[in-house]
Amino acid sequence: MARGTLRILLGAAPGVGKTYAMLEEAHLRRAEGVDTVVAIALHHGRKDTAALIEGLEVVPSKQVVYRGASFEEMDLEAVLLRKPSLALVDEYAHTVVEEITGEAVGIPSHDHQRRKRWQDVETLLEAGIDVISTLNIQHLASLGDVVSQITNTKQSETVPDEVVRRADQIELVDISPELLRQRLSAGNIYAGEKIDAALANYFRLGNLSALRELALLWLADQVEDGLAVYRSSHGIEESWPTRERVVIGLTGGPEGEVLIRRAARILARISGGELLGVHVRAADGVRGESPRELEAQRQLLKDLGGSYHSVTGDDPAQAMLEFARSVNATQLVVGTSRRRPLARFFSGGGVGSKIVRGSGDIDVHMVSHPLGGRGVRFQRPGTLDRRRVIAGFVLAMLLPALIETALVQWVPNSFVTDTLLQLCGCVLVALIGGLWPALLGAVFSSLLLNFFSAAPTGTLTISDPENLLALLIFLAVSAAVAFVVGLAARRTKDASRAGAEAATLSELARGALVGEDSLESYLAQVREAFRISAVSLLQRSQDDRAAPLWRIEASSGEHPPSSPEQADNAEEVEDGLVLALDGRVLDGSDRRLLVAFGAHLVALRQRIALNESRRDNVRLAEGNTMRTSILRAVSHDLRTPLAAIKLSVSSLRQDEVHFEPADEAELLATIENSADRLDALVGNLLDMSRISSDAVAPQLGPVRWIDAIEAALGHEPAAEWARLDLPANMPPVEADIGMLERVIANIVENAVKYAPDSDIVLVGTVGGAGSALIDGQPASELRIVDHGRGVAAKDVVAMFRPFQRLDDVPAGTGVGLGLAVAKGFTEAMGGVLEAEQTPGGGLTMVLRLPMSAGGGRV
């Protein structure tokens, strides 16, 4: 059965028209004859959206009652039984309220319990059903914290980015922020009582503009990924300037900082570009690089919003160009050569000149720096590469002939002089070209000596035995020198390669120290280090060893191999775990380095597992602490009012005892007071549970201080001696009236408990340009002042923690949750609750909330 296709309609904010566009598409597909049903579509009271649902086949949804509220959920089993060609599933990131139990039609037995709607969508896709769904960017896991910082609203429902990226099509549904605010003001998004609060908070113009930019940038990244896959599959190597990417060539020298800052200035003129620094490490060694300079440049790139990369290559210029083309770079920034002019002449102009010649359509910026032309310092000796060997063979043929010609002209008939000079020539050939050119030079020189210098001259015959011995010694010395030079060159090459491998492994260790511990980032490092196109970490199924099934645990690059057979290189790092590389076949030295990468990978997976276990243990410990505290509260504090209620009820039910009306009224009052106290204790416990699980959802709107205070003090004993000092016509604050009432009531109750003999004064102040500010915005304060014994400065922080009671207050006076609940509710409403010492003794609780933009002075 072919898997269904998934199309996601992405929006920057609620109300942009995602559900409307989804329903319009359904009508078009239905007119084309496609079997289309509405699996779940929520119109949220919007008339235009509700009208579009009419005329479409709707699979009846399930009504789920949860904590006294009714929720509409998709009936997955009914959709699977209906099996349409296309299903509309609204709100891709929604958390499913119910837990499916029992065997359900078409649902695998191991997948009975679902938490997210996108998991239900996966089941529909596996059943061959095409799906259109909707999603807001605040539900993307990678953007959740950014959106929270912008909107001051925490998102509890998120979808992993990789799940969204797997969609066959992602389409942006977009309108301008100004038009979205107009739709909101016209009542096309929220009900009338919520419009002012929404305009003043989440739907502020700046918020909407930032969210829109986030959506465009995230979608642009997905388009870039698709473009990279297309260019790779079609073998396109030249850069397509769809987006400015500036690549900086780093050598590990101090000039790198100059290049990075210059590239940052180039990119500052462009909006939405990328800055990438790449250090090309020579495959045969570390040439003049400084680890300290590289680390400083890495940090500078991070501070400027760029990224650091490291690749290995025999030819730095070629490796640089390959990297630039692989990331579709548009500009390259490189420094002028540090070699002296004469060295640049013999080397073909240096790395920069080679990059310019091979750059093609990539713009290259050659940046001068103080080290340019002063020579490369700390350069390792080069190895016997092909150019040196060819130069050695050329010298082996030319140098002996030139030496012999000069000797015949100026020093004739001097066998000893000729032998020494030819030996010097052979040594020079050995130093340049190594063993085989030196041997060729030695044979050729001996023939020239025999013909021109050894008697009889003009023939290859040797009459003097001493001359024959001298020629043999000459050949032996030349061969020995050539052998030693070749051995030294090989040792130098091995040492250089070992240095390169050590530097690469040092990069891995540095990544581990700075916390770059995700498998994806590690595999990206592997891909860059070995210059391959894709790499994947494969996990073997334990069910069938004869025909193993492989699962990709993590990957990097386009088209990562899904089995060891599909890869060019496969390294089993541990039993059932294979590191598969695709792009080129590695040589022996690279294979040895791959083994080291594999060992580090095993340690990385173990560290990730330990971190997850540690986080789970911390959560379990916190949960155990909370449960222990709740049990302690239930076993002590809740028993007191229950015992009072039971005692009073038992007394009233005794038929043989007759109570006077006053005594009966006292017992009833005891029952009522104990029940109220019990209700408050249970309410605080439930509220603390909601706050701990981030389930508090305030309904914000304009609230007057006086209304909240009167509601809060209506049932408090402090109402008899509490004194209000509120300025006339105080502006309303943005709050939830129910939560604000609980906050004030809990603070006043706490003041009564610890300062029973003092007056409690509630003082109101209006912010603005004064001190009452929240995030730089005008706010209004309510100060609840008592003149009791106060709280020591060292105990102020602990005072707001759950289950904290001051000193030896009796257990029957509460469970120590009042201030913790008050602080949690205040922060949920976007406010601040603080404690200060009252001048003259006592405690002042400062409750600060943002002023409402939806209401005037009342």
Could you report the per-residue pLDDT of 101-117, keeping only the tens digit for each? 333 333 443 344 446 88
- 577: nearest Cα among 536, 538, 520, 603: 538
Using DSSP's 3-state secondary structure scheme, residue 55 falls into coil
pLDDT of 407 above 70: yes
- 680: nearest Cα among 500, 784, 825, 821: 821
Based on its alpha-carbon atoms, the radius of gyration of the chain, rounded to whole angstroms, reads: 40
Rounded Cα distance, 400 and 379, in Å: 31
Question: Angle, to 10 degrees, between the axis of helix 661-692 and the axis of helix 818-828?
Answer: 50
Rounded Cα distance, 730 and 723, in Å: 17
Using DSSP's 3-state secondary structure scheme, residue 313 falls into strand
Task: Express as a percent the part of the chain with pLDDT over 70.
Answer: 73
CATH number of 696-850: 3.30.565.10
In this prediction, residues 596-602 reach a mean pLDDT of 79
- Output the CA angle 778-784-742, nearest 5 degrees: 85
Rounded Cα distance, 822 and 829, in Å: 11
Residues of each domain in the chain carrying CATH 3.40.50.300: 6-232
Amino acid making up residue 300: L
pLDDT of residue 6: 92
> Quick one: tokens of 555?
């990957």
pLDDT of residue 531: 75
> Quick one: tokens of 76?
């997955």
pLDDT of residue 202: 76
Mean pLDDT of the chain: 76
Q: Which of 185-199, 546-560, 680-694 bottoms out in mean pLDDT, i.e. has the lowest?
A: 680-694
> Per residue in 253-300, pLDDT tens?
788 888 888 888 888 776 667 889 988 876 554 455 677 788 888 888
Q: Residues 6 or more apart from 359 whose CB is under 8 A from it?
A: 321, 324, 332
CB atoms within 10 A of CB 322: 16
> Per residue in 736-752, pLDDT tens?
888 898 889 888 888 88
- Output the CA angle 479-480-481, nearest 5 degrees: 95
pLDDT of residue 380: 44
> Per residue in 123-142, pLDDT tens?
899 889 999 999 988 888 87
pLDDT of residue 133: 94
Biggest CA-to-CA distance, the chain: 154
Residues of each domain in the chain carrying CATH 3.40.50.620: 245-367
In this prediction, residues 635-651 reach a mean pLDDT of 76
CB atoms within 10 A of CB 111: 13
Q: Residues 6 or more apart from 596 whose CB is under 8 A from it?
A: 501, 505
Amino acid making up residue 165: R
Rounded Cα distance, 530 and 553, in Å: 20
In this prediction, residues 364-373 reach a mean pLDDT of 74
Residues of each domain in the chain carrying CATH 3.30.565.10: 696-850
Q: Contacts by 156-163 with C-beta closer than 8 Å and gap 24+?
A: 156/95, 156/694, 156/695, 157/93, 157/94, 157/95, 157/116, 158/93, 159/92, 159/93, 159/116, 159/118, 159/135, 163/118
Rounded Cα distance, 389 and 430, in Å: 10
* Top CATH class, 6-232: alpha beta
Using DSSP's 3-state secondary structure scheme, residue 375 falls into coil
Q: How confident is the model at residue 828 (pLDDT cuts 50, 70, 90)?
A: confident
Rounded Cα distance, 127 and 777, in Å: 52
pLDDT of residue 196: 65
Rounded Cα distance, 356 and 367, in Å: 12
- 832: nearest Cα among 759, 723, 743, 760: 743
pLDDT of residue 72: 80
Q: Which of 547-561, 714-728, 778-792 bottoms out in mean pLDDT, i.e. has the lowest?
A: 714-728
| Cβ–Cβ < 8 Å for 534, 560 | yes
> Per residue in 189-220, pLDDT tens?
877 667 766 776 678 777 788 888 778 777 76
> Quick one: tokens of 244?
């400015």
pLDDT of residue 38: 92
- Cα four-point dihedral sign 724, 725, 728, 734: negative
- 316: nearest Cα among 373, 348, 354: 354
- 762: nearest Cα among 846, 852, 858: 846
pLDDT of residue 35: 93
Q: Which of 75-79, 240-244, 665-669 bottoms out in mean pLDDT, i.e. has the lowest?
A: 240-244
Give the architecture (CATH level 2) of 245-367: 3-Layer(aba) Sandwich (3.40)
pLDDT of residue 397: 87
Residue with token string 């243990």: 617
pLDDT of 856 above 70: no
- 455: nearest Cα among 404, 422, 423, 415: 415
Question: pTM here?
Answer: 0.40
